[in-house]
Structure 1
């Protein structure tokens, strides 16, 4: 099972989430991929994520987290002992999201939502100072990320598998080039013939 956790102001309509959903569909494994719409409250988002995977064996579960979703995925992976793929993950969101307290809009719908001040404390409660068992983690970080510091990401996941992309951007525009490597890390067998034209 793969649970994709999107970033702040994002949704299941994000480019990377849709691309992975389509890839899993091509592989005949769409039922093993979930990407829920996460609420603004970090505590409620974590509760929703846990509900989605409550029946999963951690050995068969991989979390994929993008940006703020990477922060959530790290906390959940440490609690559950499962694998996690981190795509330009937020490392210090209590600091970085302080300026977004108030009403924001979602990227894909322009729907307004409120990011409350107490959510900063909820984020602090999810801080993982140091990961354990780095072999469970796969970090993809872009040096051209215009939102977050890729060096902070690399420093936060020492000894984990790391793919540092020179250039690119926060959304990892060329993510299609890395999708199969991500799915392979998740334990999804990829038939080379199925990658033709992907």
Structure 2
């Protein structure tokens, strides 16, 4: 089973998850996660453990903050993961773009609160050493307006990395990589 992990202030029902659902059909789930990091990780750990207990292979696809969560979970459970424009220093990245208080959800325009404690809690999921770099593939576009792609290249230097000129934080034309992602997971 593939678990798609969306980014900050997003949803498992967004455009990119829909693209993945269309391609992978019943082989993927795209949960909408809590904006509170500990709750999001807890939900993902529960899902992973249920699938593993059933003897299923689990792979992860994570976009932005979902890439950060994916790296942590891939390291913890020795899973394959594809990271799409991952926010590998999310506390720093989120602090640049958001102040504390109410933040708008990109999917449904609802508001939720981001607190100093929530940002600090992200430190609990920071990966200092990637245990199995061959399990990680990163898709990075240099035109990402939110994340400095050079940070990702440094952190993921021992992993498979595909870097494209241009693009944006959403990762334009992700469809052209679906076959490659599928093959990476096999």
Quickly name the TM-score band, shorter chain normalised.
Answer: over 0.9
Instruction: State the distance in 1 between where 2:127 and 2:100 align.
Output: 22
4+ residue stretches of structure 1 with deviation over 2 A? 55-59, 98-101
Paired residue secondary structure (1:23)? helix
Residue of structure 2 in register with 1:18 after alignment: 18
Q: How many residues align?
A: 182
Residue of structure 1 equivalent to 2:42: 47
TM-score with structure 2 length normalisation? 0.93
Q: 2:90 aligns with which of 88, 93, 110?
A: 93
Whether the aligned pair in 2 keeps the contact of 1:2 and 1:61 (CA below 8 Å) is yes
Counterpart secondary structure, 1:56: helix
| Aligned-partner Cα distance in 1 for 2:100–2:67 | 20
RMSD across aligned positions (CA): 1.4
Partners of 1:64 and 1:85 within 8 A in 2:
yes
* Mapping 1:35-184, distance limit 5 Å: 35-57=30-52, 60-98=57-95, 99-184=98-183
Larger fraction in helix: 2
Distance in 2 (CA, whole Å) between partners of 1:182 and 1:111 is 32
TM-score, structure 1 normalization: 0.87
Structure 1 unaligned spans of 5+: 188-198
Q: Deviations over 1:1-40 (max 9, x none)?
A: 1001100011112222110100112xxxx1x311111111
- Given that 1:70 and 1:89 are in contact with CA atoms closer than 8 Å, whether structure 2 keeps it comes out as yes
Deviation digits for residues 102-152 of structure 1 (CA, Å, limit 9, x no counterpart): 111111110111112210121011111221221000000001101101111
Residue 120 to residue 13, structure 1, CA distance change in 2 (3 Å): same
Separation in structure 2 between the aligned mates of residue 144 and residue 15 of structure 1, nearest angstrom: 19
